[in-house]
Amino acid sequence: MSKRILFVDDENWSVSPYFEILQDHDIETDFAENSDQAIALLRQKKYDLIVLDIMFAPGTILGQQVEPRRAGSTLLAKIRNQEIPELKTAADVPVFVLTAVTNGQVLDSVRDLQVKEIFRKPAPFDDVIEKIITFLET
Amino acid sequence: MADSEQPSARRIIEEIVRETQSYNALLEHFSALGEKIASLSGIEEILQQIARSASEVLHADPVVLFQYDRDTSKLVPPPIYAGTLFEGVDYNKTFVFTGDTFAEKIVKGGQHLYFEKTKEIEQHPYMISEKSEAIPGRPHIRFHIREGIVSVAALVLKAGDEIVGLMFLNYRHKQTFTDSAKKLMKTFASYAAIAIKHFRLFQQFRKSEAFLQRIVDKIPDPVFVTRNKKIDGKLVWRINMANRAAHKLLGYDYKLKDFEGKDARELLTVDLDKLTQALRQGKGEVSNCEVVILNRFGESVPISISTAILERDEFHITRTICIAKDLTKAKILEQQLDHLNRATLLLLNAESLEQAYDTIFENLAKIGYDKGMISLVDETTRTIVGKRATGKNWRDLQYKTNVPLSSNDILARVVKSGKPELIEDCANNPYCNQEMVRQAGITAQYIIPLIVQDKVIGALQIGLSEKQDLLKGDRHYLNETLKILAGFANQVAVAIESQRQKIRIEKLEKTMADMGHEFRSPLHNLSAHLGALKYHLEKKYGDDERVRQIAQIVQEEAYRADRQMKNALFSAAESLEMMGSNFEEGQISETINYCAERFRETAKKRGITIIVYDSVKKLPPFLYDKVQMEQVFTNLIDNAVKYSYANENIEIKGEDHGRRVEISVKDNGVGIPERWYEQIFEEFQRSDIMDRTRFIPGTGLGLKIAKKFVLNHKGKIFVVSKPYLNDPKKVMNYEGYTTTFFVILPKNPKEQ
């Protein structure tokens, strides 16, 4: 059974370079450019991994305004705390963070949400691929 | 004439004499006899008592009694009469003995005289030698004739050596003055003399009491006069005089004198025995002894007393005067200061400017200053703007406060001069905005400049309109109060400035984070797409060295761009000290490895190996800022790789120094002249050394930022560069040098 991965990033081209190589490894890749799209996809399918950006606009989650600087971490917090209706099953989905945010406080708050890996942009291409594949294969 | 027959007068006199053995005993006796003596309103009464007694005891009739004034050496008119007198003559109005030199001569003679017959008087030398006028005209003789007096005893009233009066015992029947009669008269005379003397002393004493009271009343500080007695072997101090201030201090009504006569022990929590001891051993004075005194409501009032002995007898200190300094005000000042000091701590922990303002006014209100305003200088408009006020009128004023710095307004004057101003009467101050002052109903205020590092950032106004007591009261207390308020204003200034700095830093950090994000994202996209391109090409055309090379270069350049951008952003911060540090426990080897990893590929191409020794890994976890240290070691390794010769090693070692750790980054390559050891951490000066020695390309900020971050950790960074080749020419050109950068960090930068 093939693995499935969801990339959440407001810039598609920021994560799209990973798609081809991952697909070649029999990994299904989906993409959401904001929280609401991500929620919609998470409701439809079960993912083995989410690769999540932290800072993206617009900062809304289900019509609720959130700080764009922390849009990703807010979304993850809501998923972990089962605050999103019909999304209880995704509460413990494994998450990698891929972000250009360097603020220590923000990163720490993300770390507290049980993320498996934090990549800081610019992240080495091979490193990201290797870690994703290794994680999904084990 | 037995004593028992005439008991009353004898008893009083004998009682007095018996009980008044000495001067001090007499004083005590008089105070103890209290009512009896105090009921005698003046000397006349006691003289009358004596005269009446003489008339009764010695059967003289009439008795004429003079007081003698030692100071003027004169008999004091009018005399006191007792017995029956010729009717129709008011002796009190017609002074019979005016110019009675006869009586005066008897007093001067100092001897009792006894005249059994009228003739003896008329022929006595004292009578004859004086005044040549006809004998019947002489007042004394005239008196004798009018009253039908036959025998006279003239008794000089002498107490010890002091003559206090003269008493004529007149008899209308011829007397024979036997020795025993004379003895009785003499005894009576001496008793009477003692009584008069003591009464005079008592009066004098009463006069001196009044005198003392007048002095005491003039002293503005609280004064207590105590009378000290031994009761049951213990010395008791009783307060027997106090002034208005003393009454006020203890909460009593001055007129009531409620606490007078109380044992000082009841009021003072002072060891009186100790104080007495101190008085005895010293020079009879004790200065500034801090004691606690109880007021009418049983509350403690702290005072400091200075005590001096007023009177003492052989054994005891019998009277003391205590001048008290009310320490209540000093204590209030102390409490206020204490309170404001505690408020300062709160202020420094304030989370926002608004919270700081709240803290300022809440705490000023707690010590009684509930009206006021904070105004700050707006540098762009060059005006002083009301920022926060408390108290209704002041709040109205706040919105109207917009004072140009160039104006002559009192606020502008204080800000410009940097000196506080106490304005006790705003209405008559030419620099106060009269309209505003009137509208706000402000009569008095204290304006304190808010100064941070010699820069006036605004002013704190404290309303004193309702503080007339303070303004009109003790000047010293007022000044001390103002000093405390001004001291607090300093803390206010620091707090406001640090809040403003914090806001600036937060803004800056946000800007930097946003900018960083905006730079990093395209860099990431670049490298990710390159990765994808490489993968794609390899997939299509197989493994290709050239593709890998290009990809590698683009990748490295992306990282380099990232590094440079970080440095640029950090230095964009106007002052790097402004950057807050986020100290967390971490394993420094992880940070160093992360940094080293990024250079490993680049280094490998020149045959350079970056070795992170185990000694780094063995360093214990300690507190450091990960972002900052990452940048420090990125910059140091970047530098080392750049200036290392090919095929050399870059060695990173760690050493645990207990409270500090030392990490060194060593390379063999281009050296650094010793004179540049310091400057390389400052702004880079290219021209001088760029040809011969290492210099920092690009922004030239790497080491400067490294130093700033190390200093943020209260650590040290320095470099040592020594030649390892023995070729003088190379040494001259700084070739072949071992260059080591040392970073020393405290394990707990917060404790430093």
Q: Which residues of A touch B521 (CB under 8 A)?
A: 11, 14, 100, 121
Residue of B643 and B23 predicted with greater confidence: B643
Q: Which residues of A touch B593 (CB under 8 A)?
A: none
Q: What is the number of CB-based contacts under 8 A between chain A and chain B?
A: 76
Separation of CA B566 from chain center: 53
**pLDDT per residue as tens digits for the range B403-438:** 999 999 999 999 999 999 999 988 888 898 888 888
* pLDDT at position B204 over 80: no
In three state form, how does the secondary structure of B414-467 look?
A: HHHHCCCEEECCHHHCCCCCHHHHHHHCCCCEEEEEEEECCEEEEEEEEECCCC
Q: Would an 8 Å CB–CB cutoff place A102 in contact with chain B? A: yes
Q: Would an 8 Å CB–CB cutoff place A69 in contact with chain B? A: yes
Q: Would an 8 Å CB–CB cutoff place B529 in contact with chain A? A: yes
Nearest Cα to Cα of residue B696 among B610, B623, B636: B636
* pLDDT at position B195 over 50: yes
Pick from B60-74, B251-265, B599-613, B723-737 the range whose average pLDDT is largest. Answer: B599-613
* pLDDT at position B150 over 80: yes
Q: Which residues of B touch A104 (CB under 8 A)?
A: 582, 584, 625-627
Contact B351, B441 (CB under 8 A): no
Q: Which DSSP symbol is given to B368?
A: T
Q: Would an 8 Å CB–CB cutoff place A123 in contact with chain B? A: yes
Residue among B513, B584, B625 whose CB faces A103 most closely: B513
Q: Would an 8 Å CB–CB cutoff place B625 in contact with chain A? A: yes
**What's the ipTM?**
0.84
Quick one: which H or E segment has residue A60? Answer: strand A60-61
Torsion of CA B390, B396, B400, B406, to 10 degrees: -40
Residue of B535 and B611 predicted with greater confidence: B611
Q: Which residues of B touch A24 (CB under 8 A)?
A: 539
Q: Would an 8 Å CB–CB cutoff place B600 in contact with chain A? A: no
Q: Which of A16, A121, A126, A130 to mutate to test the interface with B (most CBs of B within 10 A)?
A: A121
Q: Would an 8 Å CB–CB cutoff place B539 in contact with chain A? A: yes
Q: What percent of chain B has pLDDT over 70?
A: 85
User: Do A121 and B521 make contact, defined as CB atoms within 8 angstroms?
Assistant: yes
Q: Which residues of B touch A21 (CB under 8 A)?
A: 532, 535
Average pLDDT, chain A: 89
pLDDT at res. A44: 92
What are phi and psi for residue B308, nearest 5 degrees? -135, 150
Q: Would an 8 Å CB–CB cutoff place A20 in contact with chain B? A: yes
Q: Would an 8 Å CB–CB cutoff place B558 in contact with chain A? A: yes
What are phi and psi for residue B167, nearest 5 degrees? -125, 125
To the nearest whole angstrom, how far is the Cα of A56 from the nearest Cα of chain B?
10
Of B180-189, B337-346, B537-546, B565-574, which gets the smallest average pLDDT? B565-574
A12: closest chain B residue by CA: B525
pLDDT band at B579 (very low <50, low <70, confident <90, very high): low
Q: Would an 8 Å CB–CB cutoff place B555 in contact with chain A? A: yes
pLDDT band at B18 (very low <50, low <70, confident <90, very high): very low
A14: closest chain B residue by CA: B525
Q: Which residues of A touch B555 (CB under 8 A)?
A: 124-125
A9: closest chain B residue by CA: B521
Q: In what order do the strands lie in the sheet with A117-120?
A: A27-32, A3-8, A49-52, A95-99, A117-120
pLDDT at res. B134: 47
User: Do A122 and B535 make contact, defined as CB atoms within 8 angstroms?
Assistant: no
A100: closest chain B residue by CA: B517
Residue among B520, B539, B555 whose CB faces A121 most closely: B520
**pLDDT per residue as tens digits for the range B304-323:** 887 877 777 767 778 888 88
pLDDT at res. B88: 58
B562: closest chain A residue by CA: A122
Q: What's the whole-number mean pLDDT along residues B216-237?
A: 80
Of A2-6, B91-95, B357-361, which gets the smallest average pLDDT? B91-95
B:290-319 residues touching chain A, CB 8 A cutoff:
none
- Alpha-carbon distance B520 to B525, whole Å? 9
Q: Which of B505, B514, B525, B712 to mutate to test the interface with A (most CBs of A within 10 A)?
A: B525
Q: Would an 8 Å CB–CB cutoff place A17 in contact with chain B? A: yes
Average pLDDT, chain B: 79
pTM score, whole prediction = 0.43
Q: Which residues of B touch A51 (CB under 8 A)?
A: none
Q: Which residues of B touch A102 (CB under 8 A)?
A: 513, 516, 520, 627
Amino acid at B594: Y
DSSP notation for B182-247: HHHHHHHHHHHHHHHHHHHHHHHHHHHHHHHHHHHHH-SS-EEEEEEEEETTEEEEEEEEE-HHHH
pLDDT band at B497 (very low <50, low <70, confident <90, very high): confident
Q: Which residues of B touch A11 (CB under 8 A)?
A: 521, 525
First to last CA, chain B: 104
Quick one: which H or E segment has residue B500? Answer: helix B475-541
Q: Would an 8 Å CB–CB cutoff place A13 in contact with chain B? A: yes
B556: closest chain A residue by CA: A124
Q: Would an 8 Å CB–CB cutoff place B219 in contact with chain A? A: no
B531: closest chain A residue by CA: A125
Q: Would an 8 Å CB–CB cutoff place A22 in contact with chain B? A: no
A106: closest chain B residue by CA: B513
Residue of A135 and B240 predicted with greater confidence: A135
Q: Would an 8 Å CB–CB cutoff place B287 in contact with chain A? A: no
* pLDDT at position B578 over 60: no
pLDDT at res. B284: 66
pLDDT at res. A9: 92
Helix (H, G, I), strand (E, B) or coil at B398: helix
User: Do A21 and B517 make contact, defined as CB atoms within 8 angstroms?
Assistant: no
**Cβ contacts of A22 within 8 Å, gap of 6 or more:** A5, A29, A129, A132, A133
**pLDDT per residue as tens digits for the range A3-56:** 999 999 988 888 999 999 999 999 999 999 999 999 999 999 999 999 999 988
pLDDT at res. B42: 65
Residue among B533, B559, B625 whose CB faces A122 most closely: B559
Q: Which residues of A touch B563 (CB under 8 A)?
A: none
User: Do B520 and A122 make contact, defined as CB atoms within 8 angstroms?
Assistant: yes
Q: Which residues of A touch B626 (CB under 8 A)?
A: 104
**pLDDT per residue as tens digits for the range B482-493:** 988 998 898 888
DSSP notation for B256-287: TTTTTTSBHHHHB-S-HHHHHHHHHHTTSEEE
Quick one: which H or E segment has residue B361? Answer: helix B353-366
pLDDT at res. B139: 67
Q: Would an 8 Å CB–CB cutoff place A55 in contact with chain B? A: yes
Question: Token match 């045959």: residue?
Answer: B607
Q: What's the whole-number mean pLDDT along residues B80-90?
A: 73
Q: Would an 8 Å CB–CB cutoff place B569 in contact with chain A? A: no
User: Do A21 and B626 make contact, defined as CB atoms within 8 angstroms?
Assistant: no
Of A5-14, A81-90, B430-439, B687-696, which gets the smallest average pLDDT? B687-696
User: Do B521 and A11 make contact, defined as CB atoms within 8 angstroms?
Assistant: yes
Nearest Cα to Cα of residue B422 among B452, B389, B464: B464
Q: Which DSSP symbol is given to B133?
A: S
